[in-house]
A and B are shown apart, each in its own frame.
Chain A
Amino acid sequence: MGDRDVPADAALMPLGGVTVVDATTWLGGYAGRLLSDLGAEVRSVMPSPDPEDPAEIMRRFGKTQAPTSEPDAQLGELLNDALVDDATILITDVGPAELRARGLHPDQTTAGRPALIHVAITPYGLTGPSADKPASDLVLLADGGLLYLCGDPDRSPVRPFGEQSATITSLHATVATLMALTARDADGLGQVIDVSAQEAIVHTLENAMQYYDLEGVVRRRRGSSPADAGVGLFACRDGYIYLLTTMGGKKLSWDAAVDWLVESGTAGAERLRDPDWDSSAFRRTPEAIAEFRRIFETFSGARSKDEIYLGAQERGVSIAPVFEPHDLLESSQLRARDFFHDEQVFGHTIPMPGLPYRFGDGTVGRFTMPQPAAARPGGGS
């Protein structure tokens, strides 16, 4: 549906000729979307419980709804054998007991179909004591350890927006699917991919597991309260900016940031030139953190995100605006990149994001040749 970033001939795309039966409900929907973006023909067989859910719109974009004579039928009852027989790939995303009840367990789907790749995404895996536990985004984030790290220390953990358990799981599932396709291209044989959402989420814990393994420390929520005075979110006139002037205790653009504050005449900024502030131990004290915030927010409170962003880039200070969703549509960078494009969905004009990647030959995404690079002095990344 819609006018996508595709060449007229889908056969030119990396997954041209690949057919996918997408029997996902929510957890694996983005995997089907990613395969569709790469040129696979993806037929969605599940009716959506909430078609106007923005997350559903994102997941279903580009998929076709498989024809069925029973539009209200449940998972499995919709699926007829002809669909699976013709398909390169089948994606499911419910637990093993429910799969088996619907005739969609890999044991059942792959019997007599040696070329089929069945991507069996499940909340906890096809096996194990929790394999059939009821799941949802919030509960999977809890069971996967990411939720514990999210939020402020003085409140309950708070989940990230966007059903990220499904995003994380679908991303891993798609990587695995393409590996299985590699094997199938070589010898014509499919296989079962057992994808556990819980395990996928555990992969996103940064260094929390290693902190426990190597130093016996349980990493906790830090919220937006910074570990170092020169790092964190600071209020500005129209929202927040993210400042990073030190990393791992070392000064990065701290001096440049202080110079800017002083040159702008910000009250109290001269104090930041005292040698105390060179010490990361001092900058990590609550008193230093509070004082820096007072001084900096005097400066930032009078300026907009964009003003601070551009000024910081000119001065080599690492500041990033904390963009709200509507800011993205107004971004000069994203407009220049032709990133969002309008699609008609349920009678509304929706700005859909472009693909995450662009191929130089134009077969995936909208690619533009870059201008000769005007490298910044000093090089490095």
Chain B
Amino acid sequence: MNAGPLSGIRVVDFTWVGAGAFLTKPLADHGADVIKIESETRTDPIRWMEPFRDGIRGIDRSGYFANRNSSKRSVTLDLKHPEGRDFALRLIAVSDVVANNFAAGIMDKLGLGYDAAKAVRPEVVYLEMPMQGNTGPHRNFRGYGLTIGAISGFLATSGWPDRTPVGTGTNFPDHAPNPLHAAIAVLAALRARRITGRGQYIEMSQLESTINVIAPAVIGEALTGERFHRRGNLDRRRAPHGVYPCAGDDRWIAIAVEDDAQWAAVRTALGGLPALGAEFDAHEYRLANTDALDFGIAAATAPRDATELAAGLSASGVAAALVKDARDLMADPQLESRGHWVTLDHPEMGPSLYDAPPYRLSRTPGGLRSPAPLLGADGHEVATEILGVTDEEYERLHSEGIIG
């Protein structure tokens, strides 16, 4: 595998739980040396998140942790011990990026704040991801789980009008907006450094980052003067636009029709839809009568096979797809042809499934370089090869519980 576009960049990664892993993973997969700083006593909660290989819990058996931490190394340090802190600073001195998502002030208290980092590495790019920012009356507010989704408007904007809002059913801010906005900021700062020679302090409020992805709700209220309300699967321009039941257990088809020509194709595919009169052939009428439209379509899709129906509609130029579950995705011919599913042989979990990066750089590609690291497995290598620590010194640090 080639070295990747970020070869030569080293990241000291203090992030844990939440958005951190998916920030440093793309960097690691594209050649950066990402060193996760972990702790024996306060392990990353993600290492204890389900599922586990064969359902057996273990600190090196979490599939959730594994998929997010390909290509990285792991060093356990006691950061509260002065020598543990010094080790971290020595590592920062030969690194390019420091990343953390602790609450405001934690890194400073550990003696690893931006000023301390800059003192040993003036050109460091130092990223912090406080939940609501380092300033403001709520800067020290704590929160777990779906807190960011709640306070950002992300939860409230998704779901049915007549039901409790549901968001995505996942901790979406941690999977896309927060880690990737952060990765973008880090890469941009590294570019600026190439030109100016100067490092950068980056503050990414997870709240503010997430609000950006539902900002259209705020903008829409200002434009129309009307309160936002959840609309289920409805669309401002397309009709029909929805998710309709098909044959089998929890099988659904998603259909999105742009114009009258596509609507005609839907009618044909669904046996004419005699229950929906000719007035439905006009786009504006369909948009204004979605209840009747969806009811009529659902009655026609219910006995059909979703995959076959979707294939027929796609061939006729209509956007349509089976609503895929994990089993469907594992067998998806398009994902297979893209090489999306990669099996890596993990020392404890054995061969297990990872996502390939969703993009391919033609000239300087990345790739999954290694499975997720075992807790603290790389301490000796990092200490001796990067920092020139002798084997004897390493053994002393290790026996005193400072490293590894």
Contact = CB atoms under 8 A, between A and B. Distances in A.
B388 interface: no
B155 A351 contact: no
A305 to B, nearest CB: 10
A318 to B, nearest CB: 5
Interface string B143-169: 111110111111111111001111111
Contacts of B176: 164, 167-168, 171, 203-204
Contacts of A167: 176-177, 213
| Interface residues on chain B, size class | 35 or more
Contact of A320 (B42, B151, B209): B151
25 contacts: A128-B338, A131-B334, A145-B324, A147-B243, A147-B254, A149-B168, A149-B169, A150-B167, A152-B160, A155-B160, A164-B176, A169-B358, A179-B187, A181-B191, A182-B187, A193-B361, A195-B359, A209-B330, A210-B66, A210-B353, A323-B151, A325-B220, A326-B227, A336-B137, A345-B219
Interface string A134-167: 1111111111111111111001111111111001
A161 B359 CA distance: 24
A219 B326 contact: yes
Given A180-B361, A244-B147, A350 B256 contact: no
Contacts of A173: 359
Interface in B111-161: 114, 132-147, 149-160
Contact of B189 (A218, A223, A340, A359): A359
B384 interface: no
A350 B223 CA distance: 7
A200 B203 contact: no
Contacts of A224: 159, 163-166
Contact of B338 (A142, A196, A361, A371): A196
A111 interface: no
A202 B137 contact: no
Interface string A192-230: 111110111011111111111111011111111000000
A204 B172 contact: yes
A14 B144 contact: no
A127 B359 CA distance: 12
Given A171-B184, A191-B364, A224-B164, A199 B241 contact: no
A168 to B, nearest CB: 5
Interface stretch (B83-91, B97-105, B268-276, B395-403): B97-105
A362 to B, nearest CB: 11
Contacts of A376: 103, 140, 142
A34 interface: yes
Contacts of B180: 171-172, 174-175
A67 interface: no
Given A145-B329, A155-B160, A171-B184, A160 B335 contact: no
A321 B48 contact: no
A158 B314 contact: no
Interface stretch (B232-240, B278-286, B374-382): B232-240
A218 B326 contact: yes
Interface stretch (A49-57, A70-78, A259-267, A270-278): A49-57
Q: Which of A142, A208, A324 has the most CB of B within 10 A?
A: A142
Contact of A233 (B158, B164, B326, B358): B164
Interface stretch (A79-87, A284-292, A327-335): A327-335
A356 B204 contact: yes
Interface string B201-217: 11111011101111111
Interface in A333-369: 333-334, 336-337, 339-340, 345-346, 348-361, 363-364, 367-368
Contacts of B168: 146, 149-150, 160, 164, 204
Contacts of B22: 203
B200 A359 contact: yes
Nearest to A141: B254
A322 interface: yes
Given A129-B337, A320-B146, A380-B42, 9 more contacts: A54-B216, A162-B214, A209-B353, A210-B67, A215-B54, A244-B146, A358-B203, A375-B106, A381-B17
Interface in B61-83: 63-64, 66-67
A52 B238 CA distance: 15
Nearest to A199: B358
A372 B230 CA distance: 41
Contacts of A52: 223
A2 interface: no
Interface in A89-141: 106, 124-125, 127-131, 133-141
A35 to B, nearest CB: 9
A302 interface: no
Nearest to B148: A320
Contacts, number: 525
A173 B357 CA distance: 11
B150 A176 contact: no
A307 interface: no
B190 A182 contact: yes
Contacts of A57: 216, 219, 223
A162 B217 contact: yes
Nearest to B194: A185
A134 B50 contact: no
Contact of A213 (B63, B104, B211): B63
Given A213-B63, A370-B139, A158 B167 contact: no
A356 B54 contact: no
B135 A242 contact: no
B267 interface: no
For the complex of A and B, 3 pairs with smallest distance between CB atoms: A373-B105, A210-B63, A360-B201
Contact of A178 (B136, B184, B200, B209): B184
Given A130-B334, A143-B321, A206-B171, A328 B353 contact: no
A179 B218 CA distance: 32
A133 B314 contact: yes
A363 B192 contact: yes
A357 B203 contact: yes
B323 A148 contact: yes
Nearest to A176: B359
